Structure 1
Amino acid sequence: MNHTQEQSWVEVLRGHSNQHPVMAGGLIVSLLLIAFFLLHALTGERQLNGQYALVGGGIAFLATAVGTLPALFIRDIPQKLSDCMLGFAAGMMLAASAFSLLLPGIEAGTEFFDSGFLGGIIVILGMIIGVALMLGLDAFTPHEHLETGPCGPGHDRCSRAWLFVFAIALHNFPEGMAIGVGYAQGDLSVGVPLTSAIALQDIPEGLAVALTLRAAGFNAKLSVLVAALTGILEPIGALLGVSLAGGLIIAYPIGLGLAGGAMLFVVSHEVIPDTHRNGHQTLATIGLMIGFALMMVLDTTLG
């Protein structure tokens, strides 16, 4: 890329920042806070549980890859089934956010402050950071969704394949962070059910992504390869998550809130609207309830 092209990208981002100053500011602040906690964790003396996070993220990656394989043989599935499957994934993400992230975060915050009120407030602070991060990434990352089309600054400069990859990345990365944060204190009762929930919902989600790419005109092998490779963001996000929340003690409840807020944002902003666009909201809601109930059982059994 030459200097003129680099300058043009800077101009595009500057213009987009001027149009969305609140989102730009929220993204910058959230990234600075994350960088602070990450730097402290990497230079501190607390032992990180990166091996657990890497295994958990790897399991989620493999689940995504396995889910894509049927797309080698089928081009599509009934829209009703697709919406029900994504609703199931949304239900598991909602329950995982509540039972494996936010509630343990409140418990850790309450123990740190010796106050339930302050414990809740510190988790809410983490949620605000997580939502600000996802809002900023959504606003400033060029990406494309099949229903709503391309969006983000400079989307006209990227191929459609890359726009789809960026869209999937926005979805998978917070899931990986959630897995990593869940293992930050070496507490398997938090990390194992969370990993199980995310891995299970990654299977139908991986298939949905691969079929979406096929519907967009990509061939079967490329669709499966791209959809599977986006799962690599889960172990990467997991390593970031465990590092982020493994330093300062106060970073743990904040990190749990951050991951929970980011996942809630994805569910509300992306997954649920996608399942309600085709008139199958009842089936999608039933799938969501089944996923939510299954995650409750997993959390009770494994946690």
Structure 2
Amino acid sequence: MNTSAQQSRAGGWAAALGRRARHHPLSVLGLLSGMAALAAVAHGLSQPANAQTAQNVRWAFLGGSAGFAATALGALPILFLRRLPQKAEDVMLGGAAGMMLAAAFFSLLVPALEAAERFTGSGWTGALLVVAGIAAGVALMLGLDAFTPHEHERSGPWGPGHERFNRIWLFVFAVAIHNLPEGMAIGVGYAQGDLKVALPLTAAIALQDVPEGLAVAMTLKAIGTPVWRAIAVAAAGGLLEPLGALVGVLLVGNSVVAYPMGLGLAAGAMLFVVSHEVIPETHRNGHQTLATVGLMIGFVVMMVLDTAL
């Protein structure tokens, strides 16, 4: 490709980003939040790590890898399933949404509020600290949703420059956007070495990754993607979970201030995904009642799991 063509493509991409920024000003804050988070991670990497920090990083990576494995495992049933009834898919995704909601409340927000109150000595001030984290998480997801080209399962391609990618890559980006905050949540959970927070959170995210992996793989199969490629694409999106876990654990580190804010950030990001993506997907086919029942079941299962662990 000649230089003028490359410059034309770059100019078109920049123009698309500019239009997106003008129409979604809050999303720009999300991108800035993401860049600030990456700067904090880079700073953490530059600091000497003690034995406990290194152990927390290893556990976080293993926890994120469990989410990736669950996503890949969930895609495997398409080897023998010809199709997944829409009703079943909506119920399964509703259950996944319920697990994510319960994880956000019991495994992220409750320990975040407790840690913030211990640090500040005030329930009100501690709550404001957590709210700041939630706002940062929502802003981050707004930025990713607005500026990352990806495929919405039923409303089609979205994001600047989406026409430059084929539909399979857009599905990869869509799964990755879902899995990044989940991986970050796992990483933040291990940042202080508190397994009472981290293990239920890891279990919940891994469990809800199974129906998500199956739904993505079945959708890809339905549009004519070869079976093994559909499995590979669904699994590839799950790679963001171990990477996100590393970002989460390094972002928080041993800071008593960053820990409750990091938990709030992960909770805000997960709540955004549930409200903006998962629940609307389950309510578009006339099965909203069953999807809501699935959500309640998933919520209760996660609540019991969190209590038991």
Shared fold per TM-score greater than 0.5: yes
SS in 2 for 1:144: strand
Who is 2:198 aligned against? 191
Runs of 5+ consecutive residues of structure 1 not aligned to the other structure = none
Query: Aligned letter for 1:68?
Result: A
Q: Is 2:294 the partner of 1:282?
A: no
Give distance in 2, aligned partners of 1:100 and 1:12. 38
Per the TM alignment, residue 212 of structure 1 is displaced from its structure 2 partner at its CA by 1.2
> What is the root-mean-square deviation in Å for CA atoms of aligned residues?
1.4
Q: Is 2:20 the partner of 1:20?
A: no
Matches within 5 A, 1:40-189: 40-44=43-47, 47=50, 48=53, 49-189=56-196
Give distance in 2, aligned partners of 1:20 and 1:60. 31
Moved more, 205-214 or 89-98: 205-214
**Quick one: structure 1 residues 199 and 176, their matched pair in 2 at CA, closer, same or farther if it must change by over 3 Å?**
same
Give distance in 1, aligned partners of 2:22 and 2:66. 41
Query: Aligned letter for 2:126?
Result: G
Q: Deviations over 1:32-80 (max 9, x none)?
A: 4313432443334564311110110111111111111011222311111
Contact 1:182/1:191 (<8 A) preserved: yes
Moved more, 210-219 or 292-301: 210-219
Q: Deviations over 1:113-142 (max 9, x none)?
A: 011111111111000000000011101111
Q: Deviations over 1:79-107 (max 9, x none)?
A: 11111100000000000000000110111
Give distance in 1, aligned partners of 2:116 and 2:40. 16
SS in 2 for 1:277: coil
Who is 2:40 aligned against? 37
Give distance in 1, aligned partners of 2:281 and 2:46. 42
Contact 2:26/2:142 (<8 A) preserved: no
Contact 2:113/2:127 (<8 A) preserved: yes
Moved more, 152-161 or 6-15: 6-15
Contact 2:176/2:239 (<8 A) preserved: no
Runs of 5+ consecutive residues of structure 2 not aligned to the other structure = none
Give distance in 2, aligned partners of 1:46 and 1:111. 25
Who is 1:246 aligned against? 253
Give distance in 1, aligned partners of 2:261 and 2:118. 13
Contact 1:101/1:260 (<8 A) preserved: yes
Contact 2:251/2:262 (<8 A) preserved: yes
Matches within 5 A, 1:285-296: 285-296=292-303
Give distance in 1, aligned partners of 2:275 and 2:294. 15
Who is 2:10 aligned against? 6
Contact 1:27/1:135 (<8 A) preserved: yes
Contact 2:76/2:231 (<8 A) preserved: yes
User: Which of 237, 243, 255 is matched with 2:244 structurally?
Assistant: 237
Q: Percent identity?
A: 59
TM-score, L = length of structure 2: 0.94
SS in 2 for 1:27: helix
Q: Is 2:235 the partner of 1:228?
A: yes
SS in 2 for 1:249: coil
Per the TM alignment, residue 148 of structure 1 is displaced from its structure 2 partner at its CA by 0.6
Q: Deviations over 1:179-222 (max 9, x none)?
A: 00000001100000000001111111111110011122212111
Contact 1:146/1:216 (<8 A) preserved: no
TM-score, L = length of structure 1: 0.95
Moved more, 30-39 or 168-177: 30-39
Contact 1:134/1:265 (<8 A) preserved: yes
Give distance in 1, aligned partners of 2:159 and 2:94. 26
Query: Aligned letter for 2:154?
Result: E
Moved more, 258-267 or 148-157: 148-157
SS in 2 for 1:186: coil
Per the TM alignment, residue 247 of structure 1 is displaced from its structure 2 partner at its CA by 4.3
